[in-house]
Structure 1
Amino acid sequence: MTRPVVAVTADLSTVNWNIWGDVSVALLPWEYMEKVHQAGGAPVLVPPIPEAVDAVMERADALLMSGGADIDPALYGAEREKFTFPPHKARDTAELAALAIAERRGIPVLGVCRGLQLISIIRGGTLDQHLPEHSPAVPGKYEPREIQVKPDSLLGSALGPTATVYCHHHQGIDKLGAGLVATAWSDDGVIEGAEAEDPSAPFLAGLQAHGELGTDTLPLFEAFIEAARKKQQ
């Protein structure tokens, strides 16, 4: 059976690579690629080049919007606050274009961390720019957290009523975008997952946590890939 092609958004960064220093790279943690493959998909990178997005997305069967840098607050009508990092405007532009094409084509969309945030922002949502109680005790180390999931939901059907997820976020959804419904929460009420309000709509869901990590989230990726496979048919 042909694996659905999953477009996965990538970051732009500078790394030291073997003997080379300050190399510009399109970057994505390996766990995203591995989790998509585990779930039955064939991952390809979407570079943060807005002009290249159309060609990639017209060939994709699904879109996975990855985590990464803070989103430009101007996209949700806010000023950048003290703890918000400078925006990567090319990445924001490229990912919003990819999302618009995915929704126009009706292909499945899964958002991780900033991916969920962009799904909400494009619908008029806003962010809380700093959640110190959710920031990791050790920067660069993901922390396990149990979230509560609405059983009667897309996320609930994949994850069950609770799931252990891995978090590294200092921002979160404040106002949820139109047409979305929150379906997962942390113990303090922060939205940890949301999806399309209309259950008959094409697959559209996201986790604030890093779903590419851990085992509890694999069924969500499998449901995402299965939706892409049905769209292929």
Structure 2
Amino acid sequence: MARPLIGISTYWVGSARWGAWELPAALLPAGYPLLVQRAGGLAAMLPPDGPEAAAQTVARLDGLVVAGGPDVDPVHYGAERDPRTDPPARERDTWELALIGAALDGGVPLLGICRGMQLLNVALGGTLVQHLDGHRGPAAGAFGGHIVKPVPGTRYAAAVPEAVSVPTYHHQAVDTLGRGLLATAYAEDGTTEAVELPGGAFVLGVQWHPEMDDSDARVMRALVTAAS
């Protein structure tokens, strides 16, 4: 059986360095494609493009991952900017919202990771908490960890039925759920840690970073299975 092609949204960065070179680059932490490959898929990077290209791009994929990254611009959910919210990443917001819309319209399996989960919620009309204390990690650029408990009977619980410790680095979270979304896992403090659309195509968002956990590829395997 052919391995499904999984597209992963990707950063544009103004400067990256490798060897003798320092140039603008399309960049993606290696954990994302490695996780797709471990789960049985083929990984393709999707750097930002015009939103009019999203439907054609998604039509060529078997599944879509919207990766983690900077905060979603609160303009997309009608909120005033908290001073602790990241500067807007307008090009990436526009591109990834278009990718999510195309995947939902086309029934293409979708997994949102951290920012990707938040953006999925916003795409469906939901809102975000712009700052949570104690979730971002022990220091800048260092992942923390906490326990996530699944809601029995959900798509997420079918993939990961037990409570697990997950790698985490975020300070924003789902506030009001988007249209049709169910909260399907929680942190011990009640923060929504996974959301999904019941029925139909596979649509799941997780608040943590499964690409940083070498021991557990089950969330990505669920996407790859749905995409096969």
TM-score band, normalised by shorter chain:
over 0.9
Counterpart in 2 of 1:41? 41
Counterpart in 2 of 1:193? 194
Counterpart in 2 of 1:130? 131
CA–CA distance in structure 2, aligned partners of residues 2 and 170 of structure 1:
39
Q: Are the counterparts in 2 of residues 150 and 161 from structure 1 also a CA contact under 8 Å?
A: no
Counterpart in 2 of 1:207? 206
Shift of 1:48: 1.0
Q: Are the counterparts in 2 of residues 149 and 159 from structure 1 also a CA contact under 8 Å?
A: yes
CA–CA distance in structure 2, aligned partners of residues 2 and 227 of structure 1:
13
CA–CA distance in structure 1, aligned partners of residues 201 and 27 of structure 2:
28
Shift of 1:217: 4.2
| Residues 1:11 and 1:190: Cα distance change in structure 2 (over 3 Å) | same
Counterpart in 1 of 2:30? 30
Counterpart in 1 of 2:10? 10
Give the counterpart letter for 1:207 in structure 2.
Answer: V
Q: What SS does structure 2 have at the residue aligned with 1:133?
A: coil
The correspondence of residues 1-233 of structure 1 with structure 2, limited to 5 A, is: 1-13=1-13, 14-21=15-22, 23-50=23-50, 51-196=52-197, 198=198, 200-215=199-214, 217-229=216-228
CA–CA distance in structure 2, aligned partners of residues 179 and 217 of structure 1:
28
Give the counterpart letter for 1:195 in structure 2.
Answer: E
Q: What SS does structure 2 have at the residue aligned with 1:201?
A: coil
Q: Are the counterparts in 1 of residues 137 and 145 from structure 2 also a CA contact under 8 Å?
A: no
Shift of 1:56: 2.2
Higher mean displacement: 200-209 or 48-57: 48-57
Q: TM-score, normalised by structure 2?
A: 0.95
CA–CA distance in structure 2, aligned partners of residues 189 and 93 of structure 1:
30
CA–CA distance in structure 1, aligned partners of residues 137 and 215 of structure 2:
20
- Number of residue pairs matched by the alignment: 226
Q: What SS does structure 1 have at the residue aligned with 2:210?
A: coil
Query: Tell me, which stretches of 5 or more residues in structure 2 are unaligned?
Result: none
Q: Could you give the per-residue CA deviations for residues 54-94 of structure 1, whole angstroms, max 9, x where no partner exists? A: 43222101111100011111000012111111111111111
Give the counterpart letter for 2:181 in structure 1.
Answer: L
CA–CA distance in structure 2, aligned partners of residues 223 and 171 of structure 1:
25
Q: Are the counterparts in 2 of residues 148 and 184 from structure 1 also a CA contact under 8 Å?
A: yes
Query: Tell me, which stretches of 5 or more residues in structure 1 are unaligned?
Result: none
Q: What SS does structure 2 have at the residue aligned with 1:225?
A: helix
Q: TM-score, normalised by structure 1?
A: 0.93
Shift of 1:216: 5.6
CA RMSD of the aligned region, Å?
Answer: 1.3
CA–CA distance in structure 1, aligned partners of residues 56 and 124 of structure 2:
24
Q: What SS does structure 2 have at the residue aligned with 1:37?
A: helix
Identity between Structure 1 and Structure 2 (%): 38
CA–CA distance in structure 2, aligned partners of residues 210 and 19 of structure 1:
31
Higher mean displacement: 209-218 or 97-106: 209-218
CA–CA distance in structure 1, aligned partners of residues 146 and 96 of structure 2:
27
